[in-house]
Structure 1
């Protein structure tokens, strides 16, 4: 499996926009992409402006299809003004 983790810090004034968009992106990815097998969105208990995404794909090709999909590109554009910082890591399951 090919795993992506993403850590976001969001501007407090854009929290609702980000939350709606990220949850919609996760749901759409799971339902429309055969290669997306898991997509979890978590919000920090201690700092509600911090979000952690755990995404699992069958392989790197499936992930590449994800980032090229219309719904991902729409999500990315929509949340851009909300993002203070973003850190992405790529993993392989053992």
Structure 2
């Protein structure tokens, strides 16, 4: 089983564009540079709300993610733009979609 992480952000609307660019860069870097990161989806829901869906090989791979330079940069830059943040973790049980996104 893989380790799932779901993060919800509420971003100050004045900073949505900057946050969007930063979170997309973090997602791309995570997928390309972290061996244990398998999925890093970013969804923008409107009105400053973003959801991340991440899958890692195991909890240790996620802990490694939290220490990478790209995550630390993201965290330092975005912290003042975040109005609310919640993080949920659990076990990924099954892949139920055949959708291939590029």
TM-score by length of structure 2 reads 0.87
Q: Is 1:64 the counterpart of 2:59 in the alignment?
A: no
Paired position in structure 1 for 2:100: none
CA apart distance, 1:48: 3.0
Q: SS at 1:27's partner residue?
A: helix
User: Which segments of 5 or more consecutive residues in structure 1 lack a partner in the other structure?
Assistant: none
Cα deviation per residue 1:38-80 (whole Å; 9 max; x = unaligned)? Answer: 0000011xx3311000000000110000001111011000101
Paired position in structure 2 for 1:34: 35
| Greater Rg over alpha carbons, structure | 2
Q: Matched residues in 2 for 1:93 and 1:20: separation?
A: 27
User: Which segments of 5 or more consecutive residues in structure 2 lack a partner in the other structure?
Assistant: 94-102
- Name whichever structure is richer in helix by fraction: 1
CA apart distance, 1:16: 1.2
Equivalent residues in 2 for 1:10-89, closer than 5 Å: 10-44=11-45, 47-89=46-88
Q: Matched residues in 2 for 1:35 and 1:48: separation?
A: 32
Could you list the runs of 4 or more consecutive aligned residues of structure 1 that deviate by over 6 angstroms after TM superposition?
Answer: none
RMSD over aligned Cα atoms:
0.8
